Amino acid sequence: MKIRGRDFLTMREYSSKEIWQILKASKQLKKEASTGRFRPLLKNKSLAMIFQKPSTRTRVSFEVAMRQLGGSALYLSWNELQLGRGETVADTAQVLARYVDGIMARVFTHSDLEELARNADVPVVNGLSDLCHPVQILADLLTIWEKKGELKGLKLTYVGDGNNVCNSLLLGCAMMGVNISVACPERYKPDERFIGWAEEESKLSRATVEITSEPEQAARKADIVYTDVVVSMGQEAERAEREKVFLPKYRVSEDLFKSASKDAIFMHDLPAHRGEEVTNEVIDGPRSVVWDQAENRLHTTKGLLSLII
Ligand code: CP
Ligand code: NVA
């Protein structure tokens, strides 16, 4: 199947071979950009970006990506569109598809993305939903590949909430042959469907998938230690309860990081809540790669958009 025109909602729409194709295209575009070369692969193309939640990295990287590829991007806040006054997602999708060549959306409810995709005959990209964050994982995989020289056979340990980022990491790692171990509280496990997909994919890639509640055990011999916030966007009312469950056990501290392999790297999708899920010492330490990881959001977005639009 062709990549062009395909939605990117969970990453499950793609094979591991196609994810490699996106990563390789991203690496090439990154290399060209570093020498000042920008190919207008999306000349005169437009991307609509709908945001129902705040964003720094996703908003800026998609906008700059479109510009560097010779096209343009429109920032559309959900509440400033007629969506905020009750126009349906389906009607909005049909109209936007008459103007633009692709739609990226960051939404609370994943099914809104599916509804957008069903009704827009241009590709729809998930810029984060309550369920998953697949564009983040493209950048993560490129970063790991750059730092470690490979993906297959490495071990990534995710410590914290079994949230949208964790769901996508499970799937992305299993697809690409990265062994993944998730340490999260019993009540905050990743989504069952993503665990199932990861298990299916791991059979093909021969990766291992482990879900435990013990961070130290999970971090043992890890090549990558990854964490994300305790309180995701939209969960602010649960803060007190979550802090009680997660902290300090699921915080990546220097002590926990020591359980990982000697040359382990630290990753975080950002924004970080310093002192909560990670200490300053770790995120600012010599083995943290979070800024390179954030930079790679731009390069992988270019890789993805140049192939699907
Ligand atoms: N990691 C990420 O998606 O960051 P933003 O919320 O700033 O877009
Ligand atoms: N889990 C976080 C990720 C932010 C990029 C959230 O949903 O807020």
- Please give the average per-residue pLDDT across 212-228, as a whole number: 98
Nearest CA to ligand 2 atom 2: 232
Ligand 2 atom at shortest distance from the alpha carbon of 164: 1
* pLDDT at residue 156, as a whole number: 99
CA R_g for the chain: 19
Identify the band that residue 132 occupies on the pLDDT scale cut at 50, 70 and 90.
very high
Ligand 2 binding site (Cβ under 6 Å of any ligand atom) = 128, 163-165, 228-229, 232-233, 269
pLDDT at 281: 98
Q: Binning pLDDT at 50, 70 and 90, where does residue 82 land? A: very high
Residue 260 scores a pLDDT above 90? yes
Q: What number is the average pLDDT over the span 220-235?
A: 98
| Residue nearest (by alpha carbon) to ligand 2 atom 7 | 232
Model confidence at 119: pLDDT above 90: yes
The pLDDT of residue 1 is above 90: no
Instruction: Give Cα separations from 283 to 70, 111, 156, 166, 261 (angstroms).
Output: 35, 34, 17, 18, 17
Q: What is the mean pLDDT of residues 26-33?
A: 98
Write down the pLDDT at residue 301.
99
Indicate whether 300 pLDDT > 90: yes
Q: What is the pLDDT of residue 107?
A: 98
Point out the ligand 2 atom lying closest to the alpha carbon of residue 55.
5
Task: Select from 113, 133, 194 the residue to mutate for testing ligand 2; criterion: most ligand atoms less than 8 Å from CB.
Answer: 133
Nearest ligand, measured from the Cα of 59: 1
Cβ-Cβ contacts under 8 Å for 131 (sequence gap 6 or more): 10, 110, 164, 167, 191
- Ligand number nearest CA of 161 is 2
The dihedral sign for the CA sequence 86, 7, 99, 306? positive
Select from 211, 216, 227, 215 the least CA-distant residue to 179: 211
Mutate to test the pocket of ligand 2, among 129, 131, 140, 165 (most ligand atoms within 8 A of CB): 165
Report the pLDDT value the prediction gives residue 5, as an integer from 0 to 100: 96
Task: Determine the pLDDT at residue 62.
Answer: 99
- Residues 82, 28 contacting (CB under 8 angstroms): no
Report the nearest atom of ligand 2 relative to the CA of 136: 5
pLDDT beyond 90 at 269: yes
Region 146-152 average pLDDT: 98
pLDDT band at 195 (very low <50, low <70, confident <90, very high): very high
Q: Which atom of ligand 2 is nearest to the CA of 233?
A: 8
Q: What is the pLDDT of residues 164-187, one digit of tens each?
A: 999 999 999 999 999 999 999 999
> pLDDT band for position 148 (50/70/90)?
very high
Residues with CB under 6 A from ligand 1: 55-58, 128, 136, 269-271
**Predicted TM-score (pTM) of this structure:** 0.98
CA of 118 to the centre of ligand 2 (A): 25
Q: pLDDT category, 307, cuts 50, 70, 90?
A: very high
Among 50, 53, 57, 164, which is best to mutate for testing ligand 1, by the most ligand atoms less than 8 A from CB?
57
CB atoms within 10 A of CB 136: 27
Measure 196 CA to ligand 2 centroid, in angstroms: 22
Q: How far is the CA of 234 from the centre of ligand 2 (A)?
A: 9
Q: pLDDT averaged over the chain?
A: 98
Q: Match 């200490």 to its residue by tokens.
A: 279
